[in-house]
Amino acid sequence: MKITEVKCELLKMPLPRPMQSGSSSGVKGGPVGHIYMPLAVIRTDSGLTGTGYGWTLLGGATAIRCVIQDDFAPLLLGEDPLDNERLWTKLNKRLQSVGRAGVVNQAQAAVDLALWDIKGKAAGLPVYKLLGGMRESAPVYGSDGGWLYMSVEEMIDAFHEYLSQGMMGVKMKLGHEDPRVDIDRVTRVRKALGDQVWIATDANQKWDYPTALMVGRELERLGVAWFEEPLWCDDVPAHARLADALDIPIAMGETLGSRYEFDAYIRADAADILQPDICRVGGITEMVKIVHMGQVAGRPIAPHHMMESTIQVACGVMASGPIEYMPWVSGAFAEPMRLENGRMFPPDKPGLGLEIPEDVVRKFRVE
């Protein structure tokens, strides 16, 4: 089998609910209402086609498209699409001098997902079965209802909706200029939901060490499940100090770009819970390695975002651990993800099991 065509589309999708976090907001500081979704469509001489995607909120979307079209496509033509490990390495080495994270990784993820889609279709199996079929479903927590612009009452309503579906818990954002505002919001949510409800928090790299230490101690008092991205992601030593000083688990990884960056956190004991983002690390091929590293190191894995493709890894190689229910790109797909009693099931179709209808591409295409 040989690759005969690599095509890229770029979609601008409306978010189901506007988002605003400690590190992400609109041009004027308000909520963000759209997400960009670069698509890689790979066709073969066997008639099989694979589709993969990346995502970005605040920039770089057209750059990702250019990397796929101008840099990766020529390297892939004529190659065997089943050689995903070799092709991942080929692409990674070719552009590592200009981007070992960010734009290049997002482009690589779109290609990698498309290759795994082809591999699954060629085998007649869902990708999670190819990876190992560790389990048939994974628990989810609701993560699209705790944005900074939302009132406490709005968050509580959204959280009740998630919990009524049987989800294991909810996550809310931190990151106001005055951290006391965040502590008050968490306190009120905890009171409304009760002491037994699983609540996680995410600061999106907002604070310095003294502020994060103070907030972390308050979150411990409130029985919060984890304290996510409290500090700038490149500051491994500060995360190590914070993890040592606090009892609440430090969750980290959504902005890391490779297994080597995760390894630095593991070696420094700087993160208790690892959160790889399937698109930001370059796809399934790299994410599986990160999951195995975490398992060897005794670190729980709780993948970040992109649940439609992340579920393949979560069920393929993870024996436990949740995924994040964030339906940012759900509107692109022909069928919704199957969710029963708070657990998500991977599609049972060969490959990724995801179809993006042509009318969706036409409607949301960025020229």
Is pLDDT of 280 > 80? yes
Is residue 351 domain-resident? no
Instruction: Based on the fold, state whether residues 196 and 259 are members of the same structural domain.
Output: yes
For the segment 188-206, the average pLDDT, to the nearest whole number, is: 97
Residue 179 domain-assigned?
Answer: yes
The whole-number average pLDDT for the span 287-304 is: 98
Residues 117 and 135 in one domain: no
- Looking at residue 136, its pLDDT comes to 98
Same domain, 164 and 255: yes
The verdict on 163 and 215 lying in the same domain is yes
Of the candidates 121, 173, 239, 305, the residue annotated as catalytic is 173
Q: What mean pLDDT value characterizes the chain?
A: 96
> The domain spanning residue 80 has which CATH number?
3.30.390.10
Q: In this structure, what token pair is assigned to residue 106?
A: 């997002």
* 364 close to 328: Cβ distance less than 8 angstroms: no
Instruction: Give me the pLDDT at residue 25, please.
Output: 61
Is the pLDDT at 145 greater than 70, yes or no?
A: yes
pLDDT band at 28 (very low <50, low <70, confident <90, very high): low
Residues 6+ apart with CB under 8 A from 21: 147, 148, 173, 175, 202, 204
CATH number for 276: 3.20.20.120
154 with 13, same domain? no
Residue 15 is assigned to a structural domain of this protein: yes
H or E segment at 340? strand 338-340
**53 and 147 both lie in a single domain:** no
**Active site (annotated) includes residue 349:** no
Active-site residue (options: 129, 239, 304, 305):
304
Closest CA relative to residue 285, chosen from 114, 129, 99: 114
Same domain, residue pair 110 and 161: no
Q: Based on the structure, what is the number of domains in the chain?
A: 2
Position 333 in a domain: yes
| pLDDT tens-digit map of 115-135 | 999 999 999 999 999 999 999
pLDDT at residue number 23: 73
Residues 229 and 331 grouped into a single domain: yes
pLDDT of residue 21: 86
Q: Do 272 and 307 share a domain, yes or no? A: yes
* Whether residue 27 has pLDDT greater than 70: no
Does residue 209 lie within any of the structural domains?
yes
Q: How far apart are CA 65 and CA 37, in angstroms?
A: 10
Clarify whether residues 242 and 269 are in a common domain: yes
Q: Identify whether 20 is part of a domain.
A: yes
**What are the DSSP calls for 10-49, one per residue?**
EEEEEEEEEE--SS---TTSS-EEEEEEEEEEEEETTS-E
Task: Respond yes or no: is residue 304 known to be catalytic.
Answer: yes
Report if residue 149 sits inside a domain: yes
b or e along 236-271 (b: 16 or more beta carbons within 10 Å of the residue's beta carbon)? Answer: bebbbbbbeebebbbbbbbbbbbbebbebbbeeebb
Share of residues in the chain with pLDDT > 70 (%)? 98
Rounded to whole angstroms, the Cα distance separating 337 from 353 reads 10
- pLDDT tier, 230 (very low <50, low <70, confident <90, very high otherwise): very high
Domain boundaries, position 139: 129-345
Q: Does residue 350 belong to any structural domain of this protein? A: no
Same domain? 231 vs 307: yes
SS3 of 41-61? EEEECCCCEEEEECCECCCCH
**What residues contact residue 141 under an 8 Å CB cut-off, 6+ apart?**
162, 167, 168, 169, 170, 171, 198, 200, 322, 324, 325
Cβ proximity of 250 and 227 under 8 Å: yes
| pLDDT score for 30 | 83
Average pLDDT of the residues in 243-270: 98
Return the structure tokens found at 159.
């959280």
Do 185 and 272 sit in the same domain of this protein? Answer: yes
pLDDT digits (tens, 9 = 90+) for 54-77: 999 989 999 999 999 999 999 999
